[in-house]
Structure 1
Amino acid sequence: MALGAAALMPGAASAAQPPSAPLPLDQLRLFAEVFGQIKHEYVEPVDDDKLLTAAIKGMVSSLDPHSAYLDKNDFQDMQEQVTGRFAGIGIETGVEDDLIKVIAPIDDTPAFRAGIRSGDLITRIDDKAVEGMTPDQASALMRGTPGTKVTLTIYRKSEDRTFPLTITRATIKLQSVKTAVPAPGYAYVRITSFQERTTPDLAAKLGVIARQQPDLKGLILDLRNNGGGLVESSVGVASAFLPRNSVVVTTNGQVEYSKRAYRDSYAYYRLSSFASDPLQNEPAIFKTVPMIVLTNAYTASASEIVAGALQDAHRAVILGKTTFGKGSVQTSVPLTSRSALRLTTAYYYTPSGRSIQDIGIRPDIAVDQYADGDPDDALVTREADYPNHLANIQDPNEKKELEARQQDRIEQMRLLEEHSDKETPEQRQKDRDRAPVEFGSSDDFMLQQALNKLQGKPVLESKALLERRLAQSEPPPSQAASVEH
């Protein structure tokens, strides 16, 4: 299932389209000539529908990483993403180095239980090499009847090894909202994706929290590994914590229907899956309770809308890592009864007018995922690393910044290799055996730092950030503040 960063989809365009420019007849004649040559001279017959579908998909996918032509199977897959029910193994995918990259295993699914990790690269699905496949094509191969098996060949960069993993498919029923009590008086809410039922499910969970903890002291909203979803659902989630009628996100594109502001009111987060405002009777405490939002590099798209809105309103402290940086809106337009066009139609902006395209939401407090640091950060791919990503039109220095980022990544990878060369075999094995963080558990280092912040205790900032500050002789904010006092 390909959720990833490509699933921020408001309703289909209904406004009038701009007048079309004249068709480029010379290029269309060239296309027809190439089509004819393939039909008559290719080594074996090619089906017209297959050839034309491939041409359309190539045309649309060349625009940016998130626009796509959706055939019948792709369209069904998109519907499954929105409703939160599908048959498969449960991973969110993207593309890296022409291979299928695991953005994140979805909690409590066969892939999660089998040990697939964020950042794993899939090189084969059963007997098929995935090189050159789109996430949607790979998703179609991984879907199947519950109870059947699929074998993935995985390359894990952090361990520099390739291995097979056989997983039994199941019916995946995604619960996008999960809660826990990490400490007395504090609530933890994790949102895994933004689906049709996310806002009403969140409202119900918040009601339970308020009844069980009437003296709530703080709330942690976890958006890590959340690859996005419906823009209306992200507006609904932000609305649960913002003052009524606040601006949550604005969008701006070439056509009139793409220019709009989404506010914290029912009209902007209403979906057909619920008949009345699920936040109408929300306990007032959630508008004022101290909040921390957890983010990482796989916090993408609709998740970045929520993080940016809460950060701009000074409603929550963002703690963790810089987010993915997908600041574009995709509109799904039905073409026929069996196909649709998912087209990037706008950039989105935080309430203060920031575009996070390629940049992401930077945390107020940078914290690592692991207590001993995150050396594998150099291996993380973000929106800016895609070769055909959209530019950030607010940033005139983007090209230089991206070049500097690439040089920094190369240096980090060199240092990572040097560190690996110095490790003993026992240390390397320990690194390989390190289990991925179970979000929301007592071993979740980032969550513990969020609790520390809410409780007024010291927070252990990112080791890499502290090392850079030391190299630049720059005191961390906590030290600077103590000097001022």
Structure 2
Amino acid sequence: MRKLPCLFISIATLAAAATLPGVTSAADAQSAPLPLDQLRLFAEVFGQIKQDYVKPVDDEQLLTAAIKGMVSSLDPHSVYIDKTDFQDSQERITGRFAGIGIEIGLEDRLIKVIAPIDDTPAFHAGIRPGDLITRIDDKPTLGVTPDQASALMRGNPGTKVTLTIYRKSEKRTFPLTVTRTIIKLQSVKTAVPAPGYAYVRITSFQERTTPDLAAKLRTIAQLQPNLKGLILDLRNNGGGLVESAVGVAGAFLPQASIVVTTDGQVASSKRAYRNNYSDYRMRSFDRDPLQNEPAIFKNVPMIVLTNAYTASASEIVAGALQDGSRATIVGKTTFGKGSVQTLVPMTSSSALRMTTAYYYTPSGRSIQDIGIRPNIPVDQFADGDPDDALVTREADYPNHLANIQDANEKKELEARQRDRVEEMRLLDERSDKETPEQRQKDRDRARVEFGSSDDFMLQQALNKLRGKPLIVSKSLLELRLAQGESPQTPAGPVTH
């Protein structure tokens, strides 16, 4: 068993998930005397449990639980992971693993679906963003970490896992049985939504995302030499590798542009990422994938689509393109995860995924808790998105990091919560008035297929590129946010 002081001694070489390259030693951090009284208390509690608990407890299990509790208390994204979880995260980086294809997080100590990944078993089973998973097979998920839940949902291809889903928008709980398969993530997809216009969807940021995007852009340029406009879809993109985000944004920005800056406690966390090859190079490619990129993608009119599940690395891209006036953001305010996590191997069988820095857009904006606000707020459905009140963002987590730039954050979050409560009350009133037939119709409403002709938000983006009128969001809160006003400020008319 390792001695407790070893926990405070070393932070070694980094692996690559949404990371900063460079924390090398705990000595880089602010030094302080060890809190001997608290360590003594910890040892006494440990001894008391060993002596008096109702059944014997394994030393390693107890100490691991203590470490996990310590790390998870920091913020929603810091976690201590074991060997299996470490391997799982590496598999996700490379884009190939066995499972059902789902991005998850936590809400009220339950597992929450951030987004099903396109064209995976979870996607085809009808799992939706915002669903809560209350059981995985026969195991309740209350208090289970996302990494533990991920391990439960992984398994051999062809085997089945039954998830118990609570869908807040429908106020019902139901089981879904999903068959596991080998997930081969294709993070970049393209389409032609209308003659002269290109559509690029990025589902996550992996090692191969930048070269895959570069190849797709070259194909688009060959097939559409007179391209009039480009739509970059980042909806339901939960993030991924910082380097890949830098490469994607860099494909559309002038050379050597700042894409994102980071700042934390240690010196190595303070840096600027530019769209230079050295800042987006990954181990899976040995030459600059953006070299000889068609010049049209540096200036073609561009729209970026976002929603509440656009998070982390995808917010870096949206923020960089918005700050550089390179693209118009259309859609919904993003999730608001403005922090960077570093994966730090601790032993041969464990690692620490820890928040090490805030990140900032090129103009210096922190989007932590706030998100990227669209230039033009647009709903996902033509008749509005009444379920928006049920959406959970970064700011709703009880132990979220504060936005250190925003002196009025607490008041703004309180005002947002009051607005959410009011919107939920109106939603309940509407639900109470619905007939059983209307409720069933809402349940059966087809999920939007991003990039299809039925994608209302995409059609509004095309209208913007064509110079036609748009139908802006019916959400008063979204309109206020888009105008840069506090949630309680009366909103004026917004027309486009």
Please, which moves more after superposition, 240-249 or 10-19? 10-19
Once residues 475 and 119 of structure 1 are traced to their aligned partners in structure 2, the CA distance between those partners, rounded to angstroms, is 30
CA contact 1:251–1:348 (8 Å) conserved in 2 = yes
Please, which moves more after superposition, 347-356 or 423-432? 423-432
Secondary structure at 2:476 match in 1: helix
Quote the offset at 1:203 in angstroms.
0.4
Quote the offset at 1:299 in angstroms.
0.2
Secondary structure at 2:428 match in 1: helix
Paired AA for residue 194 in structure 2: A
Q: Which residue number corresponds to residue 298 of structure 2?
A: 287
Per-residue CA deviation, residues 295-344 of structure 1 (Å, 9 max, x unaligned), is: 00000000000000000000000000000000011111111121111111
Q: Which residue number corresponds to residue 483 of structure 1?
A: none
Is the aligned partner of 1:164 residue 2:175?
Answer: yes
Please, which moves more after superposition, 38-47 or 54-63? 38-47
Secondary structure at 2:28 match in 1: coil
Quote the offset at 1:86 in angstroms.
0.8
Aligned 1:461-476 pairs, distance under 5 A: 461-465=472-476, 472=490, 474-476=492-494
Per-residue CA deviation, residues 17-70 of structure 1 (Å, 9 max, x unaligned), is: 235311111111111111111112111111111111111111001000011111
What is the Cα-based RMSD across aligned positions, in Å? 1.5
Aligned 1:288-437 pairs, distance under 5 A: 288-437=299-448
Aligned 1:134-149 pairs, distance under 5 A: 134-149=145-160
Quote the offset at 1:13 in angstroms.
1.8
Once residues 389 and 414 of structure 1 are traced to their aligned partners in structure 2, the CA distance between those partners, rounded to angstroms, is 25
Once residues 71 and 124 of structure 2 are traced to their aligned partners in structure 1, the CA distance between those partners, rounded to angstroms, is 35
Per-residue CA deviation, residues 124-168 of structure 1 (Å, 9 max, x unaligned), is: 000000001111111110000000010000111111111111111
CA contact 2:102–2:113 (8 Å) conserved in 1 = yes
Secondary structure at 2:112 match in 1: strand
Is the aligned partner of 1:57 residue 2:75?
Answer: no
Secondary structure at 1:235 match in 2: helix
Q: Which runs of 5+ in 2 are unaligned?
A: 1-15, 481-488
Q: Which residue number corresponds to residue 114 of structure 1?
A: 125
Q: TM-score, normalised by structure 2?
A: 0.93
1:188 counterpart (195, 199, 209): 199
Paired AA for residue 53 in structure 1: T
Once residues 17 and 348 of structure 2 are traced to their aligned partners in structure 1, the CA distance between those partners, rounded to angstroms, is 21
- The percentage of aligned residue pairs carrying the same residue is 81
Structure 1 residues 364 and 31: alpha-carbon distance in aligned structure 2, compared to 1, 3 A threshold: same
Quote the offset at 1:121 in angstroms.
0.6
CA contact 2:473–2:479 (8 Å) conserved in 1 = no
CA contact 2:476–2:491 (8 Å) conserved in 1 = no
Q: Which runs of 5+ in 1 are unaligned?
A: 1-5, 479-485
CA contact 1:89–1:170 (8 Å) conserved in 2 = yes
Paired AA for residue 18 in structure 2: L
Structure 1 residues 183 and 18: alpha-carbon distance in aligned structure 2, compared to 1, 3 A threshold: same
Once residues 109 and 467 of structure 1 are traced to their aligned partners in structure 2, the CA distance between those partners, rounded to angstroms, is 31
Q: Which residue number corresponds to residue 19 of structure 2?
A: 9
Paired AA for residue 474 in structure 1: G
CA contact 1:13–1:332 (8 Å) conserved in 2 = no
Quote the offset at 1:9 in angstroms.
2.3
Q: Which residue number corresponds to residue 151 of structure 1?
A: 162
Once residues 476 and 418 of structure 2 are traced to their aligned partners in structure 1, the CA distance between those partners, rounded to angstroms, is 17
Structure 1 residues 294 and 467: alpha-carbon distance in aligned structure 2, compared to 1, 3 A threshold: closer
Quote the offset at 1:73 in angstroms.
1.3
Once residues 167 and 10 of structure 1 are traced to their aligned partners in structure 2, the CA distance between those partners, rounded to angstroms, is 35
Secondary structure at 2:169 match in 1: helix
Once residues 26 and 34 of structure 1 are traced to their aligned partners in structure 2, the CA distance between those partners, rounded to angstroms, is 12
Structure 1 residues 57 and 449: alpha-carbon distance in aligned structure 2, compared to 1, 3 A threshold: same
Quote the offset at 1:204 in angstroms.
0.5
Is the aligned partner of 1:20 residue 2:40?
Answer: no
Q: Which residue number corresponds to residue 270 of structure 1?
A: 281
Paired AA for residue 317 in structure 1: T
Aligned 1:131-280 pairs, distance under 5 A: 131-280=142-291
Secondary structure at 1:159 match in 2: coil
Q: Which residue number corresponds to residue 449 of structure 1?
A: 460
CA contact 1:12–1:333 (8 Å) conserved in 2 = no
CA contact 2:384–2:475 (8 Å) conserved in 1 = yes
Quote the offset at 1:103 in angstroms.
0.6
1:125 counterpart (136, 142, 156): 136
Q: How many residues align?
A: 472
CA contact 1:182–1:188 (8 Å) conserved in 2 = yes
Paired AA for residue 216 in structure 2: K
Quote the offset at 1:196 in angstroms.
0.4
Once residues 474 and 79 of structure 1 are traced to their aligned partners in structure 2, the CA distance between those partners, rounded to angstroms, is 48
CA contact 2:262–2:269 (8 Å) conserved in 1 = yes
Q: Where in structure 1 do 4 or more consecutive aligned residues deviate above 2 Å?
A: 6-12, 465-469, 471-475
Once residues 233 and 18 of structure 2 are traced to their aligned partners in structure 1, the CA distance between those partners, rounded to angstroms, is 19
CA contact 1:12–1:331 (8 Å) conserved in 2 = no
Once residues 264 and 210 of structure 2 are traced to their aligned partners in structure 1, the CA distance between those partners, rounded to angstroms, is 27
